[in-house]
Amino acid sequence: MAAPKLHIPCCMCGKPLPRTKDNIQLLDAEWQRRFPDITGRLCCFGCVSAHHWWCRPHGVYVDGHIPAVDEYTGRPKSHDKNSNDHLGTPGRLAAMVQAHPRVALAQGAEEYLRHRARLRNLPREGKARLNALLDEWDSAKPQPAAHDEHVDLDHWNAMMGDTVRKLASARRKLTKREQEMAQILKAAREAGVPAKVVGAWETQADMVFDQHED
């Protein structure tokens, strides 16, 4: 399945962050302190340029200044002087979302990140981290309200029960067909059909059954 398209609004202007430009910006805590109305930290280049500021406009740091942090060492930068020092490494939207999933999740990348967590080729460690983050996100969501007295639970129970029964029956039939297939393959082999031919049938049958596994 193709990855869902990223629709992430800029945390300042609210316009969709461009997906094809490689200048998506990551704001830090000092930006958030100065612009308390922003929602999130992923920002378009235009907003960052339009809101330039100085850390020490009068020779000393402004009150409440949160020192810029080096994103690689995690330590405060020694002489941060302006808003550019308070930005992470910019990049393409997808790369920024992958590098900063927690920030991106809060800004609307849930569907995209859930898709990513299901990718087969994602390294195991990254997948585990992403799943832990998504679990945390889920448990922080408000719980749905207690069930409405007017909901016809019998109806829903019956419908679900029926569907589960059909699924179980389909699964039994599939198992039976799989056993038949195995017997035919065995018989063919014993009857002297070349191993290469039987092997090819076997591969083909395996593929069909695998498709039905999920």
Least Å distance, CB 91 to Zn ion, is 16
Place of tokens 């195991």: 124
Strand, helix or coil at 136? helix
Contact residue for Zn ion among 8, 10, 104, 105 (CB under 5 A): 10
Burial 12-42 (b: 16+ CB within 10 A, else e): beeeebbeeeeebbbbbebbbebeeebebbb
Least Å distance, CB 15 to Zn ion, is 6
**End-to-end CA separation in angstroms for the chain:** 14
Per CB under 5 A, which of residues 25..64 are in contact with Zn ion? 44, 47, 55
What single letter denotes the amino acid at residue 190? E
Least Å distance, CB 96 to Zn ion, is 14
> In the complex with Zn ion, which residue's Cβ is closer, 94 or 130?
94
Taking contact as CB under 5 A, which single stretch among the options 5-13, 103-111, 119-127, 170-178 is the one that binds Zn ion? 5-13
> In the complex with Zn ion, which residue's Cβ is closer, 48 or 105?
48
8 A C-beta contact, residue 73 and residue 2: no
Residue 137: both structure tokens together: 């996100």
Q: What is the spatial distance between Cα 21 and Cα 90, in angstroms, rounded to a whole number?
A: 10
The reply to whether 13 sits near Zn ion by the rule CB under 5 A is yes
The reply to whether 24 sits near Zn ion by the rule CB under 5 A is no
The reply to whether 103 sits near Zn ion by the rule CB under 5 A is no
8 A C-beta contact, residue 31 and residue 41: yes
Taking contact as CB under 5 A, which single stretch among the options 77-85, 103-111, 162-170, 205-213 is the one that binds Zn ion? 77-85
Closest CA to 83 of 11, 33, 36, 38: 33
Q: Considering CB under 5 A, how many residues would be counted as binding Zn ion?
A: 8
Taking contact as CB under 5 A, which single stretch among the options 65-73, 94-102, 153-161, 162-170 is the one that binds Zn ion? 65-73
The binding site for Zn ion (CB under 5 A) comprises 10, 12-13, 44, 47, 55, 68, 80
